[in-house]
């Protein structure tokens, strides 16, 4: 089972659209996949599920146990203010330490409105996952200027599609 995590809780995000496309490709290859959209986090999770409140928020617990069920993760990482969204870090901070991600494997796909394609954001996130003991696939497609390369249903940029296919090939073997 591969879990695809959208790195933002913005409702109806483009990250969610990328997660759906990614899931579709994996399912076509016969791989079991679930999507965990941070938009489904309880709105008050930073005050009801972290620190002294660990374990107390049932909705948060449901999402965090979905993480426990997987050994492989795909993170769809939008670029927010030159990095990955803060809500993703808050979510990670609410997960059990140190075992949630240790010895597990992750792939990342970045997207942005500008030209960076979330490259720096994925680098920041890679540092965190390596700290937590998770192995990160080296190939991290950067879907820059995403709005210009996505028609609302599908990715229109051939190179982007090829990079995703390549990443999926590698991640299956990883």
Ligand X SMILES: Cc1cc2nc3c(=O)[nH]c(=O)nc-3n(C[C@H](O)[C@H](O)[C@H](O)COP(=O)(O)O)c2cc1C
Nearest distance, CB of residue 71 and ligand X, angstroms: 25
Of these, 93, 97, 99, 114, which contacts ligand X (CB under 6 A)?
Answer: 114
Task: Using CB under 6 A, pick the residue from 8, 57, 126, 167 that binds ligand X.
Answer: 8
Measured between alpha carbons, how far is 10 from 4 in angstroms, rounded to an integer?
Answer: 16
Rounded to an integer, what distance in angstroms lies between the CA atom of residue 94 and that of residue 74? 19
The nearest distance, CB 30 to ligand X, in angstroms, is 28
H/E segment holding residue 34: strand 33-37
In DSSP terms, 51 is beta-bridged to: none
Are 144 and 112 spatial neighbours (Cβ–Cβ below 8 Å)?
Answer: yes
Where is 28: in which H helix or E strand? Answer: helix 14-28
The residue (of 14 and 72) whose beta carbon lies closer to ligand X is 14
Residue 46 CB, nearest distance to ligand X (Å)? 16
The stretch near ligand X (CB under 6 A) out of 19-27, 31-39, 46-54, 113-121 is 113-121
The contact set with ligand X (CB under 6 A) reads 8, 10, 13-15, 78-82, 111-114, 116, 146
């Amino acid at each position: 089972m591969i879990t695809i995590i959208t790195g933002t809780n913005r409702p109806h995000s483009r990250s969610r659209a990328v997660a759906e496309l990614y899931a579709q490709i994996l399912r076509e290859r016969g791989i079991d996949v679930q999507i965990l959209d941070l938009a489904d986090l309880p709105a008050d999770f930073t005050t009801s599920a972290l620190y002294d409140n660990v374990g107390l928020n049932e909705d948060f617990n449901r999402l965090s146990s979905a993480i426990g069920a997987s050994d492989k993760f795909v993170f769809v990482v939008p670029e927010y203010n030159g990095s990955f969204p803060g809500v993703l870090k808050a979510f990670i901070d609410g997960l059990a330490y140190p075992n949630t991600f240790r010895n597990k494997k992750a792939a990342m796909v970045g997207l942005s409105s500008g030209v960076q394609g979330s490259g720096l954001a994925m680098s920041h996130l890679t540092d965190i996952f390596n700290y937590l003991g998770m192995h990160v696939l080296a190939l991290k497609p950067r879907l820059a200027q995403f709005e210009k390369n996505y028609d609302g249903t599908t990715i229109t940029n051939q190179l982007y599609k090829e990079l995703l296919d390549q990443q999926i090939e590698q991640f299956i073997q990883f």
